[in-house]
Amino acid sequence: MLQKLVKTVASGNGSSSSRGHALSCIAPDVRIVGDIMTEGEIHIDGQVDGDIACTTLVVGEGARINGEVTAQHVKVHGELTGKINSTVIIIARSARVIGDVTHESLEIEAGAYVEGHCIHKQTVVEPKRIEAPTALEAKEAS
């Protein structure tokens, strides 16, 4: 049971609000036990024991997360224990990450603590379709 309400604030930077999603903030004195899912952005300064699925996740310096994270963009300043699956991951110098990190783009600042496997996922590129030339094109080529 939550002792305090999670505060949801409309994003003023245009990135989230232009798509109709809000920025959700978890304050330092809030502890959530359970999974969190949103199509918007989450900024966590408190503690979460559970999996997180969102578009953008920012883990503040004092934050502690125990669970799997799935997001497009992840920036970690605090402590995260569990798998991270993201397109872009930035691990700041103050961060402590324990778990496997699956990414397309990964930045680890000097001084950050990372323990686990870093797995680069390839962007799936559609193969070009090659079509046989039409009779008219074949005739013009000869």
pLDDT tens digits along 24-66: 999 999 999 999 999 999 999 999 999 999 999 999 999 999 9
Cβ burial 26-56 (10 Å sphere, 16+ → b, else e): beeebebeeebebebbbbbbbbbeebbbbbb
Q: Which band of pLDDT confidence, cut at 50, 70 and 90, is reported for residue 5?
A: very low
- Helix-then-strand count for the chain, H and E: 1, 17
Gap between the Cα atoms of 98 and 83, Å rounded: 8
Contact 50, 35 (CB under 8 A): yes
Residue of 106, 117, 110, 83 whose CA lies nearest to 95:
110
